[in-house]
């Protein structure tokens, strides 16, 4: 298992998509969330979009490996997504990454950092996906998240995408994979 964490807007999604194109043996865990779908997002592809009560029901049933509230919405990794063969990649925020670290200390943990907080603000605005209130909430969360980067085994600064993907692919190449 590879856990990719870091603040919202740092480019985790783009990095991971590029990594998966390059290393097709990896598979991405599709998280559950209570946030509303953004235009173009499809249920079961970007996320499993759940109502708050459905999220609670699945939480009570023990379906989640980890879960957290982030900028007013809930997110969680379903155990069913991480079971099975092969290397699975989780793209999650810091609180959830801590929970995975406690539950699965052997998982590779990678923190993606922005070159600066200002660069992060520009990316969140440029992405055009969130209102200015939401962006402020995400930047507040980001400051706390950035302070936690040293908790994680590896830190990659996402300044240039190609270089960051290269570093990530190299890290994945160092992982112990089960022998047939
Ligand atoms: P967004 O709403 O922009 O898709 O995601 C907001 C934040 O939630 C991002 O930092 C994203 O990585 C994180 N996130 C997505 N899925 C999960 C999950 O399953 N668990 C946790 N803890 N965070 C998640």
Does the pLDDT at position 47 exceed 70?
yes
Which of 157, 168, 156, 86 minimizes the C-alpha distance to 119?
A: 157
Q: What is the pLDDT of residue 32?
A: 98
In what helix (H) or strand (E) does residue 169 lie, and over which residues does it extend? helix 161-173
Alpha helices in 9-155 (DSSP H): 12-22, 52-60, 79-82, 94-103, 117-127, 132-147
Distance of CA 159 to CAs 6, 115, 140, Å?
14, 6, 21
C-alpha 92 to ligand 1 mean position (Å):
5
Highest mean pLDDT among 4-8, 46-50, 70-74: 46-50
CA-nearest residue, atom 19 of ligand 1: 76
Q: What is the pLDDT of residue 104?
A: 93
How far apart CA 159 and CA 145 sit, in angstroms, is 18
- pLDDT level of residue 35 (50, 70, 90 thresholds): very high
Q: What is the pLDDT of residue 167?
A: 96
Tell me how far the alpha carbon of residue 150 is from its chain's centroid.
Answer: 17
pTM of the model: 0.91
Q: What is the pLDDT of residue 177?
A: 63
Q: What is the pLDDT of residue 20?
A: 94
Phi first, then psi: give them for residue 25, nearest 5 degrees: -70, -15
Q: What is the pLDDT of residue 180?
A: 53
Pocket test for ligand 1, best of 1, 7, 8 (most atoms within 8 A of CB): 8
Mean pLDDT of 83-91: 93
Q: What is the pLDDT of residue 43?
A: 98
Pocket test for ligand 1, best of 31, 113, 135, 139 (most atoms within 8 A of CB): 31
Ligand 1 proximity of 81 Cβ (cutoff 6 Å): no
Q: What is the pLDDT of residue 178?
A: 55
Q: What is the pLDDT of residue 138?
A: 87
Ligand 1 proximity of 15 Cβ (cutoff 6 Å): no
Does the pLDDT at position 176 exceed 90?
no
C-alpha 86 to ligand 1 mean position (Å):
22
Does the pLDDT at position 117 exceed 60?
yes
Mean pLDDT of 80-98: 95
Ligand 1 proximity of 12 Cβ (cutoff 6 Å): yes
C-alpha 84 to ligand 1 mean position (Å):
22
Does the pLDDT at position 25 exceed 80?
yes
């Amino acid at each position: 298992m590879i856990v990719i964490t870091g603040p919202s807007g740092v480019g985790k999604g783009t990095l991971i998509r590029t990594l998966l194109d390059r290393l097709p043996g990896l598979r991405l865990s599709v998280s559950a969330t209570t946030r509303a779908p953004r235009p173009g997002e499809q249920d079961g592809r970007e996320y499993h979009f759940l109502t708050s009560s459905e999220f609670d029901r699945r939480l009570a049933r023990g379906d989640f490996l980890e879960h957290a509230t982030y900028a007013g919405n809930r997110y969680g990794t379903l155990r069913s997504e991480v079971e099975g063969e092969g290397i699975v990649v989780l793209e999650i925020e810091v609180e959830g990454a801590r929970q995975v670290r406690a539950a699965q200390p052997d998982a590779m943990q990678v923190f993606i950092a922005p070159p600066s907080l200002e660069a992060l603000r520009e990316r969140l605005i440029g992405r055009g996906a969130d209102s200015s209130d939401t962006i402020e909430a995400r930047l507040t969360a980001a400051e706390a998240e950035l302070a936690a980067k040293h908790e994680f085994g590896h830190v990659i600064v996402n300044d240039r995408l190609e270089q960051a993907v290269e570093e990530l692919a190299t890290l994945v190449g160092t992982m112990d994979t089960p022998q047939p």
